[in-house]
Each structure stands twice: as structure tokens, then as C-alpha cells.
Amino acid sequence: MFQSGRYTYWSGQIGGNLIMLFPLGFLLPILSNKFKSIPLTTITGFAFSVCIELTQYYTGRGLFESDDIIHNTIGAFAGCVAFAIINSRLLTKEYDSYQ
């Protein structure tokens, strides 16, 4: 990336992979209480990303890249953390409104 000088391309690639599984990390805790665990949701994001990359490898559509797995996993983690922050603030506001 640094040698090619194509910062826009690489930031788009990395940013796209971060954003790709962000919704998964955000929505899993909404769909199931057991996914309110950040580690479990992150592991699920990792497993889902590995499935995507293996599908790309075996079908020859796209490239199998380990950095994609890392970035997708970080995206799922960030989505779950965002959910936890928003959820805790909503619960705090609900509790405050009852007092």
C-alpha cells in the first residue's frame, strides 16, 4: 500500500471489509440474547468471514485473503460494541425516566 501510493484504493478495500460484517455484529445481539456476549459475537463474525473466504477460494470468485478475515472480524466486533454502547445508553435513559 505504501509503495504503490494507491491510498484511496487500499482504504476502500480495508474500510469495505470493516463495514461488511458490522451489521452482523450489531444485529446478532438484537436477534438472540446469547449473542450479547462480545466474544461470542466476534467469534461468530470470524467463522462467517472464514466461510466467505473459503467460498471465494473454492469457487474461484474473488481472492482468499487472510487480511480480509481480520478486517471482517474487527467489523463484527465493532458492530457488537456499538450495539452494547447504544443498548446501555437506552437502558440508562429508560431507567432515568421511571424515577
- pLDDT tens digit sequence for 45-89: 999 999 999 999 999 998 888 999 999 999 999 999 999 999 988
Residue 31: inside a domain: yes
Q: Which pLDDT value is given to residue 40? A: 96
Alpha carbon 9 to chain centroid, angstroms: 20
Domains in the chain, number: 1
Nearest to 87 by CA among 20, 38, 46: 38
- The parent domain of residue 75 ranges over 7-98
Report yes or no on 1 lying in a domain: no
Residue partners of 14: CB distance under 8 A and separation at least 6: 67, 71
What pLDDT is recorded for position 93? 66
Identify whether 20 is part of a domain.
yes
**Single pTM value for the model:** 0.82
Question: Is residue 56 in some structural domain?
Answer: yes
Query: Do 54 and 60 meet the contact criterion of CB atoms below 8 Å apart?
Result: no
Answer whether residue 2 is part of any domain. no
Using CA atoms, how far apart are residues 32 and 26, in angstroms rounded to an integer? Answer: 11
- For the chain, the average pLDDT equals 87
Measured distance CA(6)–CA(82) in Å, rounded? 30
